[in-house]
Amino acid sequence: MTSNSNSADEDQMNIMMDMEGNVYLPINKTFMSKKARIEKVMVKGLNKTKDDIVLKQFPGVFTAENLYEVYRKAEEARERLLRLDIFSATNVELDTANDSSKPDSYSLIVNVKEGRTMNGGMHMNSDLNGNITPDMQIHFRNLFGRAEKTMLDYQFYSYGASTSRINLKFTKPLGGDPDVLYSLGVQQYRGTQEWAGFKQIDRGIYSGLMFPSAFGTHTLQWNGFWREANCLNHKTSFPIRESMGHSMKSSISHTLIRDRRGTSPFPKSGYRLKTTQEYAGVGGDVKFLKNELELEMNKSLPFGASLQLNIGSGVLRSLNGTAVKVSDKYFLGGPLSLRGFKINGVGPTSDGNSLGANSYWLGGLHLYTPLPFLPNLGGIGKHIKTHCFVNAGGLVNVDFNQNWEQILQKYRESPRVSYGAGLAMQISLFRLELNYCVPVKVQPGDNVNPGLQFGIGIKFP
Amino acid sequence: MAALARFITKNKLSKLTVTGQILLPDSASCLSVKAFLEMCGLKYSVVLRNNAEHMSPSGKVPFIQIGPFLISEFEPIIGFVNTKGFHLSANLDDTERAEMRAYMALVDNILVNAEHYISWCDATVLQTVTKPRYGSPYPWPLNKLVPLKKWYEETSRLKALGWSQKTLSEVCEEVQTCCQALSERLDKNNFFFGNRPTELDALVFGHLFTILTTPMPVNKLAEIVKNFDNLVHFCARIEQQYFSATEAS
């Protein structure tokens, strides 16, 4: 008997798979009543992988008391083994024990095939301006036998693009748990912020821990980065020039992501919550406290349509009275944020350069409808929708010496609002949009982009 | 009519050193510009920022801010001030002006490069003065990494100019030759051209005065300048005439 046979024979297991790819083991009275125990677990096909990490994926397998539980535990174990990303194939079999005096005993045989250690490829990446840049990645899997991974990521600085990155990252699941990941990396990132008239090189090290909890997935990370900001050209405005130079940011951040959305792309139900807190000041000369929140909520409507609400906000408070550098400020605007405005073109501005602010808020209400002439399900219809939207947002320089009322008044004073309609396409991590936007509420100094706007960006689906 | 200009250079006091972040070549450039503005009778205020180099449109200090304009380095500043109607060498004829430009080029090619050489290519000065000073405004590890990056840039530039390969004695010889030429031109006069200061006076004063008054573990350059009495007296005179008066008021 194997766990993936689906014969109609009553004595055998019928595995059911639904449209979303989830596997169900139907509760079958026969299997619930049939007593069974796992006596022994054998793993075949291990070469480099250490025994202990494989065995750690079978918790409680020996506590199974009936055949249904045996199958369930076996399937869970198989799924965990796959998530370790060590093996290219896993197969779990049950075999009766050789000893005839124990008729209810079974042996669990796990057949694995270790995947290739080195893997790599080239794919496309997109920067904030929508420029497509080639990105080369090399992965080394299962380096020392316990699912350790090293990844080298090199994003080229190609003509017309404004970013390049080289990143070397090592990850290891702790305690054999594929959901608890420790990572350590070193990175150099070059970016051009045309909207603000400067370019920046970030060089640094980061180290983090990712783990699940009842609230969602947490990431605790320390970053130590040397930033060097330089003016882009002679047109850079003076307030931006004052932020140029070298600075050192050493910070600890905590991120919580709780994703309870339906299937991507364009989920029709559920929500995604992301909140980040960052404290910069563990060394370095940049000292601030940052708090960010993003919430996406989806609701299904009749005729294949769906409604999506996006809200986001962030506040940065500088500590020790140090002025906030433009490298740390928030910017707003663009085809994937506040539509109808040039990329990061929301003011305050000076001489055409966006200065950014220490706080932002952004809201969007989208109505997605399937394309009128393409089928709703399957093929490309899943990835592309028509949408109409309302976006509102603002950049506020919060003065922390004021009281709550005065601060809230500042938020109320300078909102920007736009509405429009267009096409939205989501293909894996890429989001492409072609919209016709009408900015209705604009503040002096904003760099507006009314009419047809095309954008490409990375949006986690 | 005096125009108000903001003069931006770097000199952040740090707990490490007594005299701050600025290095010899930059200090000399700043003093040259200050002397020029004083000689023109222009009022200015000095602002010190530790990222002045990165703020500057050309990446070098000093730079001045007049209204919406930013102009950096000695020659462009002279040019800009001239367009506003302030001239120091208006009374020179074409031959004299060409001669003045030649001497200014001499200072740029020899004195300026010698200052950079002594700061970045001499091991003692590099370790004891240049690197600690240049890195003083930054936290660890930037206070080590930033001077290292600058050292690489400076030595590459000096190598392209053919200066980093010279020995200290060769550099001293060049400085000696330069000072000889200047001393002969100045002779017993108060200024290099006529009885009024010109841009050359500002430039020479800026560099020689800084070399004479900046304490360094390797004092070779100052010793060479001291051999020329008329140059030393020239520096003292200019300082007395244009800078003591300002300090007193």
Structure tokens at A189: 């990132």
How many whole angstroms separate alpha carbon B119 and alpha carbon B171? 12
Is residue B196 domain-shared with residue B112, that is, in the same domain? yes
> Tens digits of per-residue pLDDT, A153-189?
998 766 665 788 899 999 999 988 888 999 999 999 9
CA A365 to each of CA A266, A450, B180: distance values in angstroms, whole numbers, following the listed order: 13, 19, 78
| Residue A328 pLDDT greater than 90, yes or no | yes
The answer to the question of residue B26 being in a domain is yes
Is residue A126 domain-shared with residue A246, that is, in the same domain? yes
pLDDT of residue A8: 41
Q: Given an 8 Å threshold on Cβ–Cβ distance, is B138 in contact with A285?
A: yes
Q: Is A241 on the interface with B (CB under 8 A)?
A: yes
Domain region containing A379 = 118-457
The count of structural domains within chain A is 2
Q: Given an 8 Å threshold on Cβ–Cβ distance, is A246 in contact with B142?
A: yes
> Tens digits of per-residue pLDDT, A284-302?
889 999 999 999 999 999 8
Q: Given an 8 Å threshold on Cβ–Cβ distance, is B57 in contact with A230?
A: no
Alpha helices in A286-369 (DSSP H): none
Judge whether B108 and B116 are in contact, CB under 8 Å: no
Which residues lie below 8 Å from residue B35, measured CB to CB, with a gap of 6+?
B201, B202, B205, B206, B238, B242, B243
Side chain identity, residue B235: C
pLDDT of residue A297: 95
Query: From B49, which residue of chain A is nearest by alpha-carbon distance?
Result: A242
| Banded pLDDT at A331 (limits 50, 70, 90) | very high
Judge whether A51 and A58 are in contact, CB under 8 Å: no
pLDDT, mean of residues A332-345: 89
Residues in chain B: 249
pTM for this entry: 0.83
CATH number at residue B15: 3.40.30
Is residue A160 domain-shared with residue A62, that is, in the same domain? no
> Tens digits of per-residue pLDDT, B19-62?
478 899 999 999 999 999 999 988 888 888 888 889 998 888 88
Which residues lie below 8 Å from residue A144, measured CB to CB, with a gap of 6+?
none
Is residue A123 domain-shared with residue A48, that is, in the same domain? no
Listed as ranges, residues in chain B with pLDDT below 50 are: 1-4, 11-19, 247-249
Is residue A104 domain-shared with residue A142, that is, in the same domain? no
Which residues lie below 8 Å from residue A7, measured CB to CB, with a gap of 6+?
none
| Banded pLDDT at A206 (limits 50, 70, 90) | very high
Q: Given an 8 Å threshold on Cβ–Cβ distance, is A285 in contact with B139?
A: yes
Structure tokens at A207: 């180290």
Is residue A222 domain-shared with residue A283, that is, in the same domain? yes
| Banded pLDDT at A2 (limits 50, 70, 90) | very low
Lowest mean pLDDT among A424-438, A439-453, B2-16: B2-16
> Tens digits of per-residue pLDDT, A6-60?
444 444 445 555 555 555 655 556 656 677 788 888 888 888 888 888 888 887 7
Domain region containing B212 = 94-243
Side chain identity, residue A427: I
Is residue A123 domain-shared with residue A98, that is, in the same domain? no
CATH number at residue B138: 1.20.1050.10
The count of structural domains within chain B is 2
Per DSSP, the residues of B117-136 read HHHHT-HHHIIIIIHHHHHT
pLDDT, mean of residues A397-403: 87
> Tens digits of per-residue pLDDT, A113-142?
888 888 888 887 776 666 777 888 999 988
The answer to the question of residue B149 being in a domain is yes
Which residues lie below 8 Å from residue A443, measured CB to CB, with a gap of 6+?
A346, A347, A414, A416
> Tens digits of per-residue pLDDT, A61-90?
778 787 778 888 888 888 888 888 888 888
Domain boundary, last residue among A81, A114, A147? A114
The answer to the question of residue B65 being in a domain is yes
pLDDT, mean of residues A101-117: 81
Judge whether A231 and A193 are in contact, CB under 8 Å: no
Q: Given an 8 Å threshold on Cβ–Cβ distance, is B57 in contact with A234?
A: yes
Give the 3-state secondary structure of residue B108. helix
CA B241 to each of CA A191, A324, B185, B219, B235: distance values in angstroms, whole numbers, following the listed order: 50, 43, 21, 27, 10
pLDDT of residue B11: 46
Is residue A242 domain-shared with residue A291, that is, in the same domain? yes
Is residue B71 domain-shared with residue B110, that is, in the same domain? no
> Nearest CA of chain B to the CA of A232: how many Å?
10
Side chain identity, residue A352: G
Residue of B8, B15, B55, B58 for testing the chain A interface, max A β-carbons within 10 Å: B55
pLDDT of residue A12: 46
Preceding amide of A265 cis, omega within 30:
yes
- For A182-190, the CB contacts below 8 A with 24+ separation are A182/A207, A182/A208, A182/A209, A182/A210, A183/A207, A183/A208, A183/A209, A183/A210, A189/A163, A189/A164, A189/A165, A190/A157, A190/A163, A190/A164, A190/A165
Considering CB atoms only, which of A245, A283, A284 is closest to B54? A245
Is residue B117 domain-shared with residue B215, that is, in the same domain? yes
pLDDT of residue B117: 94
Is residue B197 domain-shared with residue B176, that is, in the same domain? yes
> Tens digits of per-residue pLDDT, A208-256?
999 999 999 999 999 999 999 999 888 899 999 999 999 999 999 999 9
Residue of A202, A225, A246, A287 for testing the chain B interface, max B β-carbons within 10 Å: A246
Residue of B12, B15, B54 for testing the chain A interface, max A β-carbons within 10 Å: B54
Query: From A238, which residue of chain B is nearest by alpha-carbon distance?
Result: B55
Domain boundary, last residue among A114, A147, A178? A114
Q: Given an 8 Å threshold on Cβ–Cβ distance, is B55 in contact with A246?
A: no
The Cα angle at residue A361 between residues A359 and A366, in degrees rounded to 5: 160
> Tens digits of per-residue pLDDT, A351-385?
889 999 999 999 999 999 988 776 555 567 778 88
Is residue B218 domain-shared with residue B105, that is, in the same domain? yes
Is residue A56 domain-shared with residue A197, that is, in the same domain? no
Residue A166 burial (CB count, 10 A)? 17
pLDDT of residue A332: 92
The answer to the question of residue B88 being in a domain is no
Structure tokens at A450: 């009314």
Q: Is A286 on the interface with B (CB under 8 A)?
A: no
The answer to the question of residue B19 being in a domain is yes
> Tens digits of per-residue pLDDT, A263-277?
878 888 999 999 999
CATH number at residue A190: 2.40.160.50
Is residue B73 domain-shared with residue B172, that is, in the same domain? no
Give the 3-state secondary structure of residue B28. helix
pLDDT of residue A17: 58
The answer to the question of residue B248 being in a domain is no
Please indicate whether residue A214 or residue A460 has the higher confidence score (pLDDT).
A214
Q: Given an 8 Å threshold on Cβ–Cβ distance, is A245 in contact with B51?
A: yes
The answer to the question of residue B249 being in a domain is no
Q: Given an 8 Å threshold on Cβ–Cβ distance, is B55 in contact with A241?
A: yes
Please indicate whether residue A5 or residue A169 has the higher confidence score (pLDDT).
A169
Judge whether A337 and A385 are in contact, CB under 8 Å: no
How many whole angstroms separate alpha carbon A345 and alpha carbon A432? 19
Q: Is A229 on the interface with B (CB under 8 A)?
A: yes
CA A374 to each of CA A52, A304, A371, A384, B37: distance values in angstroms, whole numbers, following the listed order: 51, 12, 6, 9, 73
Question: B10 forms bridges with which residues in the sheet?
Answer: none
